[in-house]
Amino acid sequence: KIKAAASNIGIVAELNGSARGVSIDQDYFESFGFKSRFLNDTPGDVVHAIVPEGASLDLCRSELEKAHAADSAFIIGYVPDNDGDRGNIVYINEQTGCAEILQAQEVFALSVKSELEFMKHSKHGAKLAVAVNGPTSMRIERIAETYGAEVFRAEVGEANIVNLATEKRLEGFDIRILGEGSNGGNITHPATVRDPLNTIFALVKLQVYGGYSSLTEAVEALPAFTTTSAFEPEAKMQIGSISHAELKANYEKIFPASFDKRRDELKSEYGITGWYEVNYEGTLAREGVGPYYRSGRQTGGLKIMLTGASKDIAFLWMRGSGTEPVFRVMADIEGNDREAMRTLLDWQRALVAMAAGI
């Protein structure tokens, strides 16, 4: 089915002088019959910032629009990071004819939906599941629910996700798709690292097996969530020399009173009526407040789940760097509401600043 669809799909690869210039990408696409255009595919010929976010995707966007104008089959483009294991996506919005950026969380969500749809069609095992990291958007749970699949979460880090998936397979779960929504890309079993080819083929399979007429339609069908990008400036905070353990202990003292103070606002504006805490270390997710639910230097991610009448509605997340005095923070909330996400993110930043004494 993929080969049958390939002749009607064109892909623009803007490699930015990355290691993917010596990969199999072009030969692999051609073996399936895809049309393709490659730019800056000589390793070392770096023409823009190496993190494939924001302005680093502009060249691919413009080249995809040119290719699409000449041949409407060209609908997908990608830009890898410098070592080539992650590729972020641009696509043609068929309603406007313009190339748009798929956010990292959207790329992963589409990949998950694609693989679960494929597994349904190929009659995989009954115990379907997905393995993700702590800050992956909750839209993954909403997608998984529609396929009867479970979602398991681990600490940030590809190795943690891969190890968690391995553990759950030993328990009888069928996990084909895993990854970190906060960072984009995906890992498709039996691979143990990200690869842009996996992501591209996941998007193609979504059209082939998902019944969508276009990638635009598939994007619009995603569960609506608004999530802080890991790469926006507000997602990182300088916290000084305080230890992770002390900061988290302070945060846990501050948060309950802060929640109670905002309780009426949270309920009326967002339907949030309660909360619980999850601490992540390695492949473990421990629900509970206090150092008992952490170990060692307590450097894992900490997440506050914000709940409504019968479901999780939003979360606040934080995790400190192991190499610099920085904490990464984010918020995720159901619905297309960037203002609500920013309100929650500002609240989280204020709480972390207070806990750090800055």
> Residue 240's pLDDT is what?
87
222: which residues sit within 8 A by CB, 6+ positions away? 106, 109, 110, 113, 139, 143
Pairing of strands 10-14, 74-80: parallel
Q: Give pLDDT, residue 244.
A: 95
- Per-residue pLDDT, 214: 87
Predicted confidence at residue 247, as pLDDT, reads: 97
DSSP for 341-356, please give it. Answer: HHHHHHHHHHHHHHHH
Residue 18 gets which letter from DSSP? -
CA 134 to chain centre: 10
Cis peptide before 190 (omega within 30 of 0): yes
pLDDT on residue 126: 78
pLDDT tens per residue across span 220-231: 999 999 999 988
Start-end ranges of CATH 3.40.120.10 in the chain? 2-101, 105-223
Residues of the chain with CATH 3.30.310: 227-356
Kindly give, in sequence order, each residue whose CB lies less than 8 Å from that of residue 147, ignoring residues fewer than 6 positions away: 116, 117, 119, 120, 128
Alpha carbons 66 and 220: distance in angstroms, whole number:
24
Per-residue tokens: 77: 């483009």
pLDDT by residue for the chain (358 residues), tens only, comes to 777 788 899 999 999 999 999 999 999 999 999 999 999 999 999 999 998 888 999 999 999 999 999 999 999 999 999 999 888 999 999 999 999 999 999 999 999 999 999 888 887 767 999 999 999 999 999 999 999 999 999 999 999 999 999 999 999 999 999 999 998 889 999 999 999 999 999 998 888 888 888 889 999 999 999 999 988 899 999 998 899 999 999 999 999 999 999 999 999 999 999 999 999 999 999 999 999 999 999 999 999 999 998 899 999 999 998 777 889 999 999 999 999 999 999 999 999 999 999 8
Q: State in words which class domain 227-356 has.
A: alpha beta
Amino acid at the residue 124: H
Domain spanning 2-101: CATH superfamily: Alpha-D-Glucose-1,6-Bisphosphate, subunit A, domain 3 (3.40.120.10)
Architecture, CATH, for domain 105-223: 3-Layer(aba) Sandwich (3.40)
The DSSP result for 260-322, as a single string, is: HHHHHHHHHHH---EEEEEEEETTEEEESSSGGG--TT--S-EEEEEE-SSSEEEEEEEEE-S
Which amino acid, residue 113?
Answer: K
- Say what the pLDDT of residue 262 is: 98
The DSSP output letter for 233 is G
Kindly report whether the global pTM for this prediction surpasses the value 0.85: yes
